[in-house]
Chain A
Amino acid sequence: MSTEIVERSAAQIAREVNGGSLSAREAAGAALAQIDRVESRVGAFLTPLHGDARAQADLVDARVRAGERLPLAGVSLAVKDNMCLTGTRTTCGSKILERWIAPYTATAVQRLVNAGAIVVGKANMDEFAMGSSCENSALGVTRNPYDLDRVPGGSSGGSAAAVGAYEAAIALGSDTGGSIREPGAFCNLIGFKPTYGRVSRYGLIAFASSLDQIGPLTRTVEDAALVYDAIAGHDPMDSTSIDRPVEPTANGLLESLSGLKIGIVRQFDTRELGDDIDEVYDRAYHDLEALGAELHDVSLPTADYGLATYYLIAPAECSSNLARFDGVRYGLRVEAQDVQAMYEQTRAAGFGPEVKRRILIGTYALSSGYYDAYYVRAQKARTLVARDFEKAFEDVDLIACPAASSPAFAFNAKSDPYSMYMMDYYTIPMSLAGLPALSVPCGWVTPPGGTRPLPMGLQLCAPIFSEKLLLGAAHAYERATQHALKHKPQVSEV
Chain B
Amino acid sequence: MSSEKIDVRYVAKLARIALTDEEVDRFGAQLADLLEHVNRLGELDTNAVPATAQVVESRNVEREDTVQPCLDRETVLAGAPQRQGAFFRVPRIIAEQ
Contacts and interface: CB of A to CB of B under 8 A. Distances in A.
A15 B71 CA distance: 37
A386 B52 CA distance: 9
Contacts of B8: 360
Interface size class of chain B, counting residues whose CB lies under 8 Å from the partner chain: 35 or more
Given A342-B90, A384-B46, A417-B30, A327 B55 contact: no
Given A307-B37, A367-B11, A370-B2, A434 B51 contact: no
B71 A360 contact: no
B6 to A, nearest CB: 6
B49 A383 contact: yes
B41 A305 contact: yes
A333 B82 CA distance: 8
Nearest to B15: A363
Interface residues of A, number: 71
A488 to B, nearest CB: 39
A347 B18 contact: yes
B44 interface: yes
B61 interface: yes
Interface string A335-349: 111111111110110
B38 interface: yes
Contacts of A101: 78-79
A241 B64 CA distance: 18
Given A357-B31, A377-B41, A384 B49 contact: yes
Nearest to A338: B91
Nearest to A343: B16
Contact of A360 (B11, B63, B93): B11
**Most chain A CB inside 10 Å of its own CB: which residue of B35, B55, B71:** B55
Interface string A188-210: 00000001110000000000001
A373 B14 CA distance: 19
Interface in A284-329: 302, 305, 307-309, 311-312, 319, 323, 326-329
A328 B90 contact: yes
Main secondary structure of the interface of A (DSSP, over half): helix
B35 to A, nearest CB: 8
B17 A359 contact: yes
Interface string A150-184: 00000000000000000000000000000000000
B1 A373 contact: yes
A433 B55 contact: yes
B70 to A, nearest CB: 10
A418 B33 contact: yes
A374 B37 contact: no
A104 B16 contact: no
A356 interface: yes
A242 interface: yes
Given A344-B17, A356-B23, A361 B31 contact: yes
A338 B92 contact: yes
A308 B11 contact: no
Contacts of B58: 197, 240
A392 interface: no
A330 B80 contact: yes
A383 B18 contact: no
Contacts of B42: 377
Contacts of B21: none
A343 B44 CA distance: 39
Contact of B93 (A327, A339, A363): A339
A309 to B, nearest CB: 7
B67 interface: no
A327 B95 CA distance: 20
A100 B50 CA distance: 41
A332 B81 contact: yes
Contacts of A128: none
A221 to B, nearest CB: 23
9 tightest A-B CB contacts, nearest first:
A434-B55, A333-B81, A379-B51, A380-B46, A330-B79, A344-B18, A348-B18, A363-B15, A343-B16
23 contacts: A302-B44, A323-B16, A329-B76, A329-B79, A330-B79, A333-B81, A338-B91, A338-B92, A340-B16, A341-B91, A344-B17, A351-B17, A361-B31, A363-B14, A377-B41, A379-B52, A380-B49, A380-B50, A381-B44, A382-B52, A416-B33, A417-B30, A418-B34
